[in-house]
A and B are shown apart, each in its own frame.
Chain A
Amino acid sequence: MAGNVVTLTVANFDETIRSATTPVLVDFWAEWCGPCKQIDPVIRDIAVEKAGALTIAKLNVDDEGDVAARFSVMSIPTMILFKNGSEVQRFVGARGKQALLNDLAPFLG
């Protein structure tokens, strides 16, 4: 569905990032993280704007700590961009919409 944000768990993580037809931006977040709350509307906006070119997914580090540990996430929000199942870039820390779009631009076709 256009502009959808995918919720990732240990059960669907690998399959989602491997089978996606677009790059996947995974937002590692938690309820108690203020900056994570601030970027949530930003990435949801981007999900709509870049529908078809970029998939946006969220992973709750409280619920899915093993996945966060597998990617050595030690700070949230951390956003990792995957292409064909492999990490191509990571962005540590919250930022505004324009800044995030600028950061993503080199990786989107």
Chain B
Amino acid sequence: MRGVWVHGVGAVTPLGGSWAETSSALAAGACAVGPVRGFDASGFPSRHAAVVAQDFPGEDRRAALALRAAREAFAAAGLHRTDPRRIGVFVGAESGRPPFATFAALARAAGPGPGLDHARFCAEAASRARDLDSRVHSPAAVAARLAAEVGAKGPVATLSLACASGAAAIAEAARAVSLCECEVALAGGVGADVDALMLAGFGLLGALSESGVSRPFDRRRDGFVLGEGAAMVVLGSERGFARVAGIGRTLDAASLTAPGGNGGLRAMRLALAAAGLRSVDVVQAHGTSTPLNDAAEAQALREVLGGGSLVSSIKGALGHAIAAAGALGFLAAVEAIRSGLVFPTAGLQEPDDDGGALPHVLQRAITRRVDSALVNAFAFGGANCSLVVTRE
């Protein structure tokens, strides 16, 4: 198998319309979390989120975000002469949704009553056919749109692994490049879940922060804050500025909602072993700010790395972008390799040191030479993906 290198990156996040803007803001310690303003969330369990300020009228929000990130990554990579049949596209995405007004109208048509009024529901659905077009809201629609944008005619796949989707898509792309299934792969993730349905749904689970603050690994953490955005990378077999050196994928097989077993720990160990490393300089942690995830991840990091690696989580600043989260973390790790910039964990002021202190990056970015980084993405349902990125 051949080496897989990063040639370009791109992102649209609540902190910027490009990775360069986002990176600068993250380095400055900025935080995008704020009150939800797009709809009336006053009755919701959590009323804060990190939102991309831009609207995309007439476009599926996921596709719009991913497209802009992909354009940036592809332009940065400068690989336009690649045979289209040798370009693959791998996207981590979940289902999109119609506008909430459409949901509300359908719900009104369906009831209230002792049961669902199918006739009225279907009549309302028919009148809103354009908003309900499954081809637009399909998870696969994003990858298809990106393939059309860059003219890719190689393998196209959509990974739907919840919070691990973006990282898993990069892993799948790296596999395809290493096995010569394609020369160049556009890969990453997109999440656009700051809507009433998901805010209420995750809130009901008790997963969201009632305080409205994302504080990964902090003693006061009380849940995650929803975010959104897209992060894309261009991978290829020729030497680039960072190498995908190791991949580890496991299942917890324990719980739908809580980390359990040792799945995360095993994923990290597998990725490190594949890279031929025992430790790394930096960890871009999953770090969601939920009590259970952060405690389990911190303990796994202590066991695997012994507390010697800098630990950072960008979810303090960007919230949890679900299917994009792992790809955003990957970009942060690549940035550490490329520029030596290790982002601080926004919101982290009182590290939860139960079990032993970890070298968190607090308040200010650290600049130093980084030769290796580990990225974690752990999903609801127990799917884990860890990636190791190296300079050589």
Whether chain B is bound by chain A comes out as: no
- Chain A residues with CB under 8 Å of chain B are none
- Chain B residues with CB under 8 Å of chain A are none
